[in-house]
């Protein structure tokens, strides 16, 4: 099933999406007694998270039955150790505490953010330089996935592959997979740090080298004082793992997201627009739901017939 719900604005989008999430949590926990929720960072889900926390605090859902897995985390945040890096105000762990986890009166049963802060960036770079045969770059654009070979000679790189990357995907599998995954849309249609051009296949968990543009923007936007303070790597779920959930709920608001949203719906799936994997996911039996505002929908508002031919249902509940 593939459905696109068009809403008025950010607030309306957040309300509609929150209702879908809370209803699913209630239904699934009623059947199996627990729930595995996938979470994203960024501006798009912040309104939804406030509604979700309110629903939990009002006992409309039982937060103690929820286990959460986040999409991504930086490698190379400033800090002398993993604890300092985790609590850095730009870490995604810190973001989740501010935007959701810290708002809950009854906490989730368990929360997981990819373990990127355990990695020492300087040591990582020196191990790459010392062991070039242990890894390779993947991707046709600026952001690259760094694939560490299973039998890497470097103890450190092998540890990252086994205990940071593979172990995260294995932990999700042991929980029975994600029931519903909330995702946003990157500027070029990327999901988390699965950047444009990184292949879909065999990329469950990614170690990504950020392109210079991403790093420069982080400094220009005031997240870091200088390039030397900015992370140059990140740990991220790849599209293949994200879309292994039973339901994927994509949020997009604002005209900046209109291009990638339209491309992901009107063109065939391509790693150049990672969220287009939703089409493959839907064809395999997954439940794919877009909840977007009118600005993000501007290039598809008059394309309902074309979308219908592609097997995508459009529900426009905006006032205009």
Q: Which residue would you say has higher pLDDT here, 205 or 320?
A: 205
Model confidence pLDDT, tens digit, residues 37-64: 999 999 999 999 999 999 999 999 999 9
Q: Measured between alpha carbons, how far is 144 from 31 in angstroms, rounded to an integer?
A: 41
Contact present, 71 and 112 (Cβ < 8 Å):
no
Beta carbons within 10 angstroms of residue 39's beta carbon: 26
Beta carbons within 10 angstroms of residue 305's beta carbon: 9
Contact present, 30 and 305 (Cβ < 8 Å):
no
Architecture of the CATH domain 2-300? 3-Layer(aba) Sandwich (3.40)
Model confidence pLDDT, tens digit, residues 124-182: 999 999 999 999 999 988 889 999 999 999 999 999 999 999 999 999 999 999 999 99
The answer, yes or no, to whether residue 225 has pLDDT greater than 90, is: no
Average pLDDT over every residue of 174-194: 94
Beta carbons within 10 angstroms of residue 97's beta carbon: 16
Q: So where are the chain's domains?
A: 2-300
């Amino acid at each position: 099933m593939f459905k696109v719900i068009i809403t008025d604005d950010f607030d309306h989008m957040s309300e509609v999406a929150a209702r879908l999430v809370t209803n699913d949590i209630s239904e699934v926990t009623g059947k199996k007694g627990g729930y595995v929720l996938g979470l994203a960072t960024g501006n798009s889900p912040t309104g939804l998270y406030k509604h979700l926390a309110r629903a939990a605090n009002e006992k409309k859902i039982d937060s103690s039955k929820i286990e959460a897995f986040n999409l991504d985390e930086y490698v190379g945040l400033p800090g002398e150790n993993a604890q300092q890096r985790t609590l850095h105000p730009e870490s995604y762990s810190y973001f989740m505490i501010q935007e959701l986890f810290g708002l809950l009166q009854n906490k989730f049963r368990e929360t997981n953010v990819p373990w990127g802060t355990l990695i020492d960036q300087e040591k990582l770079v020196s191990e790459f330089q010392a062991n070039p045969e242990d890894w390779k770059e993947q991707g046709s654009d600026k952001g690259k996935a760094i694939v560490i070979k299973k039998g890497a000679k470097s103890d450190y790189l092998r540890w990252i592959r086994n205990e940071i990357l593979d172990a995260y995907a294995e932990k999700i599998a042991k929980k029975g997979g994600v029931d519903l995954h909330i995702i946003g849309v990157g500027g070029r249609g990327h999901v988390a740090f699965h950047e444009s051009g990184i292949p879909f296949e065999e990329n469950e968990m990614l170690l990504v080298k950020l392109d210079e543009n991403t790093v420069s923007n982080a400094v220009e936007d005031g997240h870091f004082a200088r390039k030397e303070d900015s992370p140059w790597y990140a740990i991220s779920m790849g599209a293949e793992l994200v879309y292994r959930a039973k339901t994927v709920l994509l949020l997009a608001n604002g005209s900046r997201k209109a291009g990638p949203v339209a491309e992901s719906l009107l063109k065939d799936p391509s790693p150049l627009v990672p969220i287009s994997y939703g089409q493959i996911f839907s064809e395999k039996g997954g439940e794919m739901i877009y909840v977007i505002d009118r600005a993000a929908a501007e290039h598809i508002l008059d394309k309902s017939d074309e979308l219908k031919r592609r097997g995508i249902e459009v529900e426009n509940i905006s006032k205009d």
